[in-house]
Structure formats: structure tokens, C-alpha cells
Structure 1
Amino acid sequence: MTRLLIVTDAWHPQVNGVVRCLDKVGQELRAIGYQVDYLTPERFWTMPLPTYPEIRLSLAWLGEIGHIIEQYDPDHIHIATEGPLGLMARYICTAQHWAFTTSYHTRFPEYVAARIPVPCEWSYAYLRWFHEAATHTLAPTRSVVEDLKDKDFQHVVEWTRGVDSTRFVPGEKTLFQNLPGPHLLCVGRVSVEKNVEAFLRLNVPGTKIVVGDGPQRAELETNYPDAVFVGRKQGEELTAHYQSADVFVFPSKTDTFGNVMLEAMACGVPVAAYPVMGPIDVLTDPRAGVMDDDLAVATEKALKLKRADAHSFALNYSWAACAALFRQYLVPVASGRERAA
């Protein structure tokens, strides 16, 4: 049985695209016979990341991480994040001349710059150093690949995402019946980098509904009393919120992909977004979503699209295909020693 170890600082109970992607890929690989293990913050003492308390930073020591990896004795190692666990795993792999892959999920420099005065160039310098030792760095879209290459990243390859088309399906509108329509939905972390306020500022008819939680929620609830904040939703509740929307508005300008767009379209809900990295690679069929520099214009046009077209487009994405591509880029740990010899 092929043994794969995925090292990630992002893991449950976090609810985000990184965790969802890594979890789904592991499920798909196990289904075809892989032994997939995760090295995550769950087994260590942690502390909250300043300004982002949902993310926990692992308080582990290097020798402990090295011992754990040796116990797993993996055939392949994938380092998914650039946090403390990822950093220690990278050090161990390079010291032992083990080959490994990495992935780039988040525009972390822009996230940091939105919170504290740290130039993006500094953060990108760290990320470039972090990923340069990997055999492949997997990025979610062609636009991200090209952007990283322009920033002198090496060995970057495209690794697209998927959607669970058995869970996210079209259905009856069972919610929001007491709210004025049309019903405009935004799902995601309620924080400054997600640009949720751009959604709430839209001068369009209807009711704006926000699914999610985060540090900006209290402020935005106070400033936009006509919007409806329902908190974090999962499982059937989340699906019902998608199904009950008339259009899904994706205001983020910093996401590298935006899995929530696929989830919405799989439920038959057209998407409105800015023409930026993420949407320009995902919304490739104008029958499924609309992009415009004026998000209000995109929203009004998306309301005219057919729900069946959005659903059909989302079926082009699957977690099985995502996992197959991930598997294609894996490299044997021992090959690093062979290159170093």
C-alpha cells in the first residue's frame, strides 16, 4: 500500500477551502488504495494566530516532528501550508534529502498586508524560499501559476479543485420566504480580506444574506442592519442556503480559487464576481456566472441566467479528477536522496 503523508497547518475545525480540499483529496486517494495520513495541529499544543484566532499555530519542536515523520515512513510527502508545521517538515525533508511537493492555496501576502503594514514583497520572498525546494508546487488555477512564475517561483503546476455534486445539488427554495427578493447570498469568512463589505454596499434590490463568521461580523452587522447574518452553516443547512438563493455574490479579490462558487453553481445558483484571479479561471462559461468591475452590474446580469446552466457547468469539476491530478504530481521521497547522491 502506498503511504502518503500530508503536512498541513490548516485543519479541522477550521472551515475553509484549504481544509476541504485536503480532506476530499485524502478520501479519494484512500478509495483507490492509498494510506493517507495527516500531520496537523490536532496533536500539539497550539496558540491562536494574531488577528486570525480560528487559525491555530502549532507549538511543536523539530525533533518531535522528525520522529513522527519517520514513524509514518511515507512513500510520498506533501507539505500543504507554509506555517510552523510546514516549515519544520520542509527543514527535515531538505536535511534528509527527501523529495516532497508543496501547494500554494492562499494569497497570504495580501491577507497580511490587509491587516498589518508588512509589504507584500517581504511575504512573497519568504514563500518563494519556502517552495523552491519542492519538486512541484501545486497552484489552483492557471492565473495563479502564471502570477507565481512572474514572481520567480519555480516548478509551479496547475492543480484545480472539485465539488461534491452529490451533496451540493439543485433543490427547492425552502428559506428566506419572509424576506424581500431577490435573495443575494454570500458565503465565506466574514473578514476584511474577503471583501464582504463590497457585497453589503451593493445598491441593488432584494435581501443580502451572509453565511459565515469571522472577526468583521459584529462591525458589519451594526453598519448594515438590513442585511441578514445567519452565521456558519454546514451539511444540509449550507446546501439549503445555496438552494434558496437567487444569485451567489463572490466579492473577494484575494482568493486563489473560490470553492464556494462551485458549490453555489452545483446547487443551480448563478454567480456574480469581479474579473480577478479566481473567478476568471472558474467562471469560464458566461451562462453560469457574470464578472464585472461593477459588482452590482454583475449581480443584476447573473439574476437573468438559468439555474440549469449553472448546475451543468459545475459538473465539470469533481474531487476525483482533483485527486488524480494531485497523485500525478507526487514524487517518491527516496528520489531526493538519489538526486543528492
Structure 2
Amino acid sequence: MLDHTTPDSLAAARSDGRAPTILVVTDAWRPQLNGVVHTLEELARSMAEEGIDVVFLTPQEFTTVPLPSYPEIRLAITSKRRVLAEMERIAPDYIHIATEGPLGMAARSACLERRLPFTTAYHTRFPEFISARLPIPESVSYWWLRRFHNSGNGMMVATKSLGAEMAARGFVRIKRWSRGVDTKLFDPAKRRDLGLPRPIFLNVGRVAVEKNLPAFLGLDLPGSKVVVGDGPDLAMLRQRYPDVHFLGRKLGEDLASVYASADVFVFPSRTDTFGNVMLEALASGVPVAAFPVTAPRDVLGEAGALSENLREAAFAALGIPKDIARDRAMTYSWRACAREFLGNLTRVPRGAFAARHLSLR
């Protein structure tokens, strides 16, 4: 039977004077800027407010090599033995494997060998991501992903629809884990004049093939199209779409100001599992236009316009009041996200790391 740990029981675990420790193993980490890294950083911040320690095992602790065709992503060179040694050193109360890369695979093997419970998360549609770059059928990738995730004590997904889809694909022990947004940073009050013709249609995110940006950039729309972000396709898209305003990477207040200054956020991705950028746009009072696919259907509600004709969706989104967008974002918080995550974890048996008895062979 799974241990459906509640936040209250985690608080009780602090009665011995030691804060519970959650080990999160992730192949996605700085300097990457994406939804996975952002979610994990916000998770750690919210956990600290709950008095819970989050320790990350990331590629920064290992020798790395660049991912072919995507050098921003560094892959760790590691082994089950090395990861077991790190687990013993950290002695976590809970183990969560966030990604399916080399570190995630080594951590999964270590947990299975030592019969340590662990949870996983499905952040990225790797079958679609891989098939966009290599001649590997999606069916093969999903077969491998089922082996990876079904061996744990639970796979977390961001939305109800995604959970239903993955269940239909043969994934089991699926748990909901939503997302949050900083409604103080992303605020309609930060709107300013960008010096561009209106309406302004905005996209923020990684400039890469899986984001399906040409579906937005090729639209016949009035006003201005603006793209914020960096990625492997940036130079190519700048050349192909000279009338689009590519602003590069922006962070913090600069990013918040651009969001609030837009009129519609266009989200052309068909493969994102959630899309944190949609919440940031909504919090900034900017309605969203998107295809009627899993993430937008679950996230947007009345704050978005969905259509297979993305141009029609963009025009429809212009008519959505900003306060509806803002109100939708206010229903999400990082604190609620953290508590949902806590409730999905399974405790490592007491004493599993009490003695240095692990045979690291």
C-alpha cells in the first residue's frame, strides 16, 4: 500500500528536532531556464517556509557533456554507484526523481536495487521532443517511459487531462501536482509603453522546435509580435521572421513589465505538459490564445481562447477582460503546489541510511 503522506504528518516528523529532508534528483538545472527548473526552485523556497529541507542532486555535481543539437542542456556522466553514495551521504526522508535523464536513470536503478521508495514526475513529453529531432517512433519512447515511471511509488502530473491521457497509455499510480505563480511579481500594474504598434501579441519561453513557434510567428495579425526567450532556434527564426521583435532572455522585473505590456499571450505549443508561462501571462492581466490541447484546456478556463485556428483564437483573446485573466491566476499559488507535492511523497523506511551498510558495488 502506498504511503499517502500528508503535510500534517510531515510536520509531525519534525518532532525529533530534525527537519525532514527531501532529495530531488534532476537532470534539468541551472543555467537552463525552463518550467522544470523554475518549478523546482519555487518548490524548494516553499518547502523552506514549511521548515522542510530540499536537497538537489543535479548535473552541477558531475562531469557533463552537452546534449547534441541542444548544448544549453548538459548531461551528467554518472553511475548508480555514485548516486548511491550521494543518497547515503544525504540520508533523505523522501526521494523524488524529477527527470528521466542520466541522473534520473541512475537514481531509479539505485532505489530499485536497495528497495527504496521514490516518486517521479512527468514534466516533458520526451517522445514528441525526441521524434522532432530523431527518427525514433513515439511508441518506442512511451514504452521506455512506462518502464521508468511505473517502477516507482507514484508519477506526478500537472493536470487532470494529462493524468487521464497517461493512464490510457498504460501509466499507473498517477498523482496530481499542479503549479503556482508569483502574483506579486507578475502584475498588470507593471504595464508600460513598449514603443510598438498595438495590439501586442507575446510569446515567452524556450525558442526551440518543440514550442511550435512558427504556428504563431506565421500568423497574419495586426500590431506587433514579440518573442522573449533564448534557444537553439533563435537565429534561424530571427532570419525567417524579420518583422517579429525578438527581445532575447529577460528576467525578474524586466520580464514582468513585458508581460503586463502585452495585449494577448499566444501559446502555440501542442506538447507542453503545463506551461508556467500561461500563468505568468494571466497574472499580468493578459489573456491567452492557444490550441485546444491538454495544458491550455486545463489551465485557462474563461481566461483563454482556444481554437485549431490560432489566428481566430488570438482575435478572440483580445476581447477577454484583463480582470478575468488575473482572477484565474489568483487561483494558483506556489504554497498550494508545495503542499500537493508533499502529499504525494512516500517515506523512506526509518534506518535505511542509519548505518553505512550499503554495498556500493
What TM-score bracket applies, with the shorter chain setting the length?
over 0.9
* TM-superposition CA deviations, 1:98-123 (whole Å, max 9, x none): 01111100101001101111000111
Q: Distance in 2 between matches of 1:246 and 1:190?
A: 21
1:283 counterpart (300, 304, 321): 300
Q: Distance in 2 between matches of 1:297 and 1:173?
A: 25
Instruction: Answer yes or no: is the 8 Å Cα contact 1:175–1:241 preserved in 2.
Output: no
Mapping of residues 80-119 of structure 1, within 5 Å: 80-119=98-137
Q: Does 1:225 align with 2:242?
A: yes
Q: Distance in 2 between matches of 1:44 and 1:120?
A: 30
> Cα offset for 1:336?
12
- What's 1:321 paired with? 336
Q: Distance in 1 between matches of 2:334 and 2:212?
A: 27
> Cα offset for 1:172?
4.2
Instruction: Answer yes or no: is the 8 Å Cα contact 1:29–1:36 preserved in 2.
Output: yes
* TM-superposition CA deviations, 1:20-73 (whole Å, max 9, x none): 111111111111111110000111111111122111100123322111110000
Q: Distance in 2 between matches of 1:192 and 1:234?
A: 22
- What's 2:310 paired with? 295
Mapping of residues 171-320 of structure 1, within 5 Å: 171-177=189-195, 179-284=196-301, 286=302, 288-320=303-335
Instruction: Answer yes or no: is the 8 Å Cα contact 1:140–1:161 preserved in 2.
Output: yes
> Cα offset for 1:198?
0.7
Q: Distance in 1 between matches of 2:113 and 2:171?
A: 21
Q: Distance in 1 between matches of 2:206 and 2:74?
A: 16
Alignment RMSD (CA, Å): 1.3
Instruction: Answer yes or no: is the 8 Å Cα contact 1:98–1:335 preserved in 2.
Output: no
Q: Distance in 1 between matches of 2:83 and 2:118?
A: 16
Distance 1:281 1:336, change over 3 A: farther
- What's 2:150 paired with? 132
- What's 2:53 paired with? 35
> Cα offset for 1:2?
0.7
Instruction: Answer yes or no: is the 8 Å Cα contact 1:99–1:335 preserved in 2.
Output: no
Q: What stretches of structure 2 of length at least 5 have no aligned partner?
A: 1-18, 353-361
Distance 1:76 1:48, change over 3 A: same
- What's 1:15 paired with? 33
Q: What stretches of structure 1 of length at least 5 have no aligned partner?
A: none
> Cα offset for 1:304?
1.2
Instruction: Answer yes or no: is the 8 Å Cα contact 1:99–1:336 preserved in 2.
Output: no
